Amino acid sequence: MEAAPLNTILHVWAGWLIDGTGGPARRDVLIHVEGGKIVSLRRMRLEDKLALEDRLVDCSESTILPGLIDSHVHLTMSGTGDESIRQKQLSYTADQAMPVIRSHLAQSLSRGVVAVRDGGDAASHTLSYATDPALHSIPFRVRAAGKAWRSRGRYGRLIGGPPAEGMSLAQSIASDPSPLDHVKIVNSGVNSLKEFGRETRPQFSAAELDAAVQAARRKGLKTMVHANGSVPVRDAVDAGATSIEHGFFMGNSNLERMADLQVFWVPTAITMKAYARELPKGGLEAEIAWRTLEHQVEQIAYARRLGAPVLVGTDSGSLGVHHGLAVAGEMEILVDAGYTVEEAVCCATSDPSRLLGLRGEMGQIKKGMEGTFVVVAGPPKTLLRRMGQPEKVFVQGRLVASGGLPILSG
């Protein structure tokens, strides 16, 4: 897939502009992009309209927001409910996995998602994709963990493996030659759908986790820690993890510490909504999924009041969670928890741009940033309902998707 040729000059009339900072939407803004970057941003005037005529991209009935960032995905896996496909994807060779990854990226792009942070796959295919520029005809930022680290005999077989026999977690991280973007550690079990709120014990001791985070830091790498329940999350926060993934039932004291230390939290609440919808209706598991979602919404509401940095991450590839599309679903959950639409956009743009090392490039619509943005029909109040099918997606001033479909050529 090739993007359209670079538009050297682009003038876009945004009916409403949500700039990614969390502040309220502004009316009638003229965005001027040159050489892939935003060179000016100002109130649209009648004389602009007359002077620009047919060179003006008229989005006066639409909302424009920065390109979206999903802070937790698994690009080698699809959200399909077809179990045979899910099983096959887990044992794919690199040659089989690449088209899957590329199709997930194209899907994501068509929904306005322009960057993702991957939470790992056992064969490290996503890292192979991310580090091979020859594969990058889709203009997309992928941050990859490679293979996640878990403890022997514990949860996480699908996304990673344990340290080698006789080696500690820290030694394994220190000696791993893979060109990772971040280290992923699994420090608890998966959230239970059999028993509401059941906590599993941590996979690693507090000392092991501490040494592991230090080992990653010495390599200049951030750590992404899967942790549910109070003790697994507490240990990860104490160790200095950059982000807590999932964090179901972590409890108020963890949220308070994360707010104090500004540890990122990626609640992946959409996974529970998807389970509740995909699992047999009226069954115990579906009921527990709904209750877990409600509990997570309460935790997210408390995190917002505390000022803890909550990021939109979907765990796309999980059952019923589809790449790209799920971002709007996770943002809707944030709004249910009390976020304004503009704040929810910030959790999917400006805040994750810091985590992914993209600050200053994307995540906000302002002068000097990339011309990377999404156009969605209608005002901000209908944004999340309509975000599944954006009118247009621009990356660095190039139109890369239109009408919810990627622009294909060749």
Give contact residues for Zn ion (rule: CB under 5 A). 119, 315
Closest approach, Cβ 74 to Zn ion, in A, equals 6
Closest approach, Cβ 316 to Zn ion, in A, equals 9
Neighbours of 88 (CB within 10 A): 12
Closest approach, Cβ 226 to Zn ion, in A, equals 7
How many helices (H) and strands (E) the chain has is answered by: 14, 17
Which of 20, 119 has the CB closer to Zn ion? 119
The 8 Å CB, 24+ separation contacts for 170-178 are 170/208, 170/211, 170/212, 170/214, 170/215, 171/215, 173/149, 173/212, 173/215, 173/216, 173/219, 174/215, 174/218, 174/219, 176/146, 178/124, 178/127, 178/146, 178/147
Which of 235, 315 has the CB closer to Zn ion? 315
Closest approach, Cβ 143 to Zn ion, in A, equals 14
Which of 176, 315 has the CB closer to Zn ion? 315
Q: Where are the beta strands (DSSP E) in 198-352?
A: 222-227, 243-246, 264-266
Please give the structure tokens belonging to residue 197. Answer: 């709120």
285 contacts 194 by C-beta, under 8 angstroms: yes
28 contacts 13 by C-beta, under 8 angstroms: yes
C-alpha distances out from residue 279 to 81, 265, 311, 393, Å: 10, 26, 26, 34
Closest approach, Cβ 319 to Zn ion, in A, equals 12
Closest approach, Cβ 101 to Zn ion, in A, equals 15
Which of 71, 107 has the CB closer to Zn ion? 71
Closest approach, Cβ 315 to Zn ion, in A, equals 4
Which of 120, 404 has the CB closer to Zn ion? 120
Closest approach, Cβ 21 to Zn ion, in A, equals 28
Which of 211, 221 has the CB closer to Zn ion? 221
- Degrees to nearest 5, angle at CA 298 with 292 and 302: 145
| 253 membership: H or E segment, kind and range | helix 252-261
Which of 163, 267 has the CB closer to Zn ion? 267
Start-to-end CA span in the chain (Å): 7
Identity of the amino acid at 282? G
- Nearest residue (beta carbon) to Zn ion: 119
Which of 119, 380 has the CB closer to Zn ion? 119
